[in-house]
Amino acid sequence: MLCNNTAAIDDDSTGTDCIAPDWSKVDAVVANEFSIVLDDLLQNVLLPHEAMTCCSGHVAKCTDLSHRLIIDQYYSDEISCTKQCVDLTVPMKLTKHSQFNVPGWCDIVKVNNDVSRSVFLEWVYCGRPCTGAVFEHMTRCRARFKLALRYCRQHEEQLKADACAKSLDLGDGSKFWRSLKCE
């Protein structure tokens, strides 16, 4: 990899500080410098011959594994150059990232958390019974919430990648770049 886009500093138990690009300070001068530096860096990344010559005619799907690996490496090199260019040209800012930020929370965990909280409050209102239907319902809801949270923590990288791809697919370039700021 050509660059490391993060500089994490341990803060305390509440999270970490991370140096990230400050896109709000990018003006025409910085954008021009970014373009020049990126062009210079990408001169060192050669387009694989396999990318242009493998598939001919109407067939656009290569089945040769070695070609796919070469193209994946090409893609990784381009992303590394882009990240390095960001590090070199875009002003940076210090941002706080909480350990409580769970990728997939809104899509997977939030509904279970809302239900679990309301059922917990109902259980408290009923006098915190140790048995019975209210107790059983509260424990089942809490278990579903904890299972969803555990799933998100165990699949954090995949959920981040999915969210990043979704933001790019939706055409939201700024959200895409924000998602890359502290990888």
Q: What is the pLDDT tens value at each position of the chain, 183 positions in all?
A: 333 333 333 334 445 677 888 888 889 999 999 999 999 999 988 888 777 777 655 555 667 778 778 888 888 898 889 989 999 999 988 876 666 678 888 888 899 999 999 999 999 988 999 999 999 999 999 999 999 999 988 888 888 888 777 777 766 566 556 655 544
Closest by alpha carbon to 121, among 108, 138, 104?
138
pLDDT at 19: 81
pLDDT at 177: 63
The model's pLDDT over 162-174, given as tens digits with 9 standing for 90+, comes to: 877 777 776 656 6
pLDDT at 108: 87
Residues 6+ apart with CB under 8 A from 37: 85, 88, 89
pLDDT at 173: 61
37 and 85 in contact (C-beta within 8 Å)?
yes
108 and 151 in contact (C-beta within 8 Å)?
yes
**Domain range list for the chain:** 8-101, 102-183
pLDDT at 66: 82
**Distance (Å, whole) CA 31 – CA 76:** 23
